[in-house]
Structures are given as C-alpha cells and as structure tokens.
Amino acid sequence: MRRTAITGVGVVAPGGVTRDSFWETITAGKTSTRRITFFDASGFRSQIAAEADFDPIAAGLGEQETRRMDRYVQFAAVAGTEAMHDAGLLIEEEDRTESRFIDMSREKSISIVLEEVDRERVAVALGSAVGGTMLLEDGYVATSDRGKEWLVDPEYSPPFLYGGLIPSSLASEIAIKFRAHGPAVVISTGCTSGIDAIGYGHQMIQDGEADIVISGAAESPISPISMACFDPIKATSHRNDDPGHASRPFDRDRDGFVMGEGGAVLVLEDFDRAFERGTHIYAEVTGFASRGNAYHMTGLKPDAVEMTAAIEDAMRQGGTKPEDIDYINAHGSGTKQNDRHETAAYKNSLGEHAYNVSISSIKSMIGHSLGAIGAIEMAACALAIDRSTIPPTANWENRDPECDLDYTPNEARRRNVDVALSTASGFGGFQSAMILSRPPELMEVGA
C-alpha cells in the first residue's frame, strides 16, 4: 500500500497567521482569546472569541480574490500557498488565460513547479463545518434591511453571495488557485471536518487516486448567527470578564469552549515520490479512523467506546503500540463532558501508558475553530515531530478528579516526538483519530 508523507504545512490562526508565528504562539503558551471585536456581542451569553489578526491583502491575496472569497476561503488560500511553497511545489505566478464560470481572466494563477507533476494527479480535500456564515449573514442583513423587511430585496444582494451558500466553493476556489485537476471535495462532519479531510486525502494517496493532495480545513464562524447557535445549549464559555483565561481544557473549573477561527493546509504526497525528490518530510500519516456514536446530537456516552475504537483502528493500521505514542494532541474543547469522555478513551486504548504520555489541547490558546481546528491540530502534530517540542495546555490550574492524566500544563516541553496521536470529537457523534509518525527512513539518516 502506498504511504503518505506530509511535505508542506501552512497555517492561519489566532495569534499567528503564518506557520512559524502560530508555532511560536502555541509553544510560548500565549492565549489569543479576547472580547469579540467583529460585531457588537453585548447581547450574547458568550462575548469572547479567538480572532485572527488577518489582512488578506498583506497575506498575498489580490483585491478580486478578497472581494469574491468569504473569509474562511481566504484562510485556506493563504495557508495553501504557504504549504505549497513549503513543499517546494510553487513557482512565480503566470497569467491565466482560461475563461471560467466566474471570470478570473485578469487574475494571476499559481503554478506547480515540477514538470513531472500531472495536474490530473493533484487533488483537493478540505473541511468546513459551517461554511460561509460571514458572507451569508452580511448578505441577509443587506437584502432584508437588517431584518426589517420580511420580503428581501435581491437588488441589495452581494454579487458573490452564491459562493457563501455552497460549501463546495472552498474546494473549487483552492483547486482553481493551484490548478489542481484531480478530485476536489469538501468534507463537512462538524468539528471533525479538518482531521477527516486530511484522512480522506490520505486515503486518496493510499488508493492511488492522487499523488499530491492539498488537504486541511478552514472556518470563520465568529459571526452573530454562529455565536447565537451555541448560546442556548451553553456550549461556549461565558467567562467574559477574563477572556484570556476562559479556555481551560481539562481544568476543574472549565465552563465551555471559546469560539475561534482560522485554517491549516497540509500537502500530502506519495511517500516514495517525496523521498526520491529530496523534499523535507515532516511526518508520515500512519493511521486514520473515524466512528459515529449514533447516540445524541450533542451528548457523549461516558464509556467513550467510539473514540476508543477510532484510536485503536488508527493504531492497528500503522502497527502502532500504546507505548510508541509520545504525544497526544487532544480535542480538549473545555466542555465538562468532552474532556472526561476523551480522557476515558485514552485510558481505554492505551492502558497504563495513558498516564505516561504528554497530552495537550491547543484550543486553550487559539480557541475552537469548529471544522478547521482538526487541521490546525494536525499541523501542530507535524511541527511537534519536526521540532521536538510539545505545546502546552494553557490555563490549567485545578485538577478534575475525572481528568487525571498529564495534560502538559502551561509550559511547553522539549522532547523527542516520533509518534503523535490526535483526536477529534464533533456534535452529531463524530469521533476521529489520526496518527503521525517520524518515517523510519528519516530516523536511519538522522534527519
């Protein structure tokens, strides 16, 4: 079976809108949560979020792209460009000559550098839980005169509102930008969308459907409609007077997650091809599995059977033993039931080794960006392996008796990481797990 290498990493996140600034933020234990500035949130139960200080023009997008793309698509485009450059797969922009459904004839196009790359073998697999909420909400506000008119006036509709309606615009925009002619899909499985999209890309490599997959996820849910959806079920923190310490996964006094935004793109590549061309390989995807609990839209069973099964399946695929795992990047949302559920899954699947492995949740620093966070967390795992550092769980102060593992409180650890496990849990009962490993070829050469 073909193997999957990660050869490029790109990140746009709160506290860091590049790969390196993101890594600096999470390894320093800096929190990027604050009171919402995007809109007046004074009427909401939760008035805090982790916002990205993102300027699309400064990040390299053109004015036409910025006007056409919703914010979450902009995140994917910028992170994708960084990841493709990182993988050594980009050259200078060239003029686009093809006409398309949306007229982009005057835009510039990024081209793949390697002449031997067949564009039919370059695929896109991206995730998003809620899609274009910002563009849709702005469009509704305009067409309804801020909700005053029951019959909306389409004359006031933004010209690219359709792109906000269909989540597939995420994959189509990125495929167009990088001229990827292979399969292009959007995975939407709630808060597991990011890890599931990378998993789908991994399976395309394994199955021979693609040689290169631009994979990851993006989300921009800090909008009134998204925040209003979580207020009634009390899933988000209402620690509005102390936003910097509001996200506190696994801590006894946690009271919900803090909304975030951002995106991450990983370039997945057939391992043999990547190794032969001598590009830098961050890690190898050695296992991916998902399960559904068929139980409740937001509830979790305390026995954690489905997450346990996903972890064990991912371990089986790569021949990973419990004692092989050096680091767990937890879903760690900061809700009471999720953190206990996840802790139980680690004990079930790893046995006594669960007490020896370093675990952390980067949501404590950059919030929970719904579908995007799984991809951002996989980027963190790849960097942890590559840079031999485990990011901490910020804001951990008081032990919960039901969360009694090592959650790497507050300070990063310099430690060799050969195998990293990441887990994700989503409303609807979705449970996913992925394992990244340092390839044995790189251990042999001391890379």
Query: Which residues are catalytic, by number?
Result: 191, 331, 368
Q: Which residues contact 410 (CB under 8 A, 6 or more apart)?
A: 29, 392, 393, 394, 395, 396
CB-CB neighbours of 42 under 10 Å: 9
Q: Are 297 and 37 in contact (CB under 8 A)?
A: no
C-alpha 438, offset from chain centre: 21
Element housing 164 (H / E): helix 161-165
CB-CB neighbours of 104 under 10 Å: 19
Half-sphere exposure in the Cβ direction for 251 (13 Å, CA): 22
Enumerate helices (H) and strands (E) in the chain, giving the number of each. 14, 17
Whole-angstrom distance, CA of residue 447 vs CA of residue 441: 9
Sign for the pseudo-dihedral over CA of 7, 372, 223, 23: negative
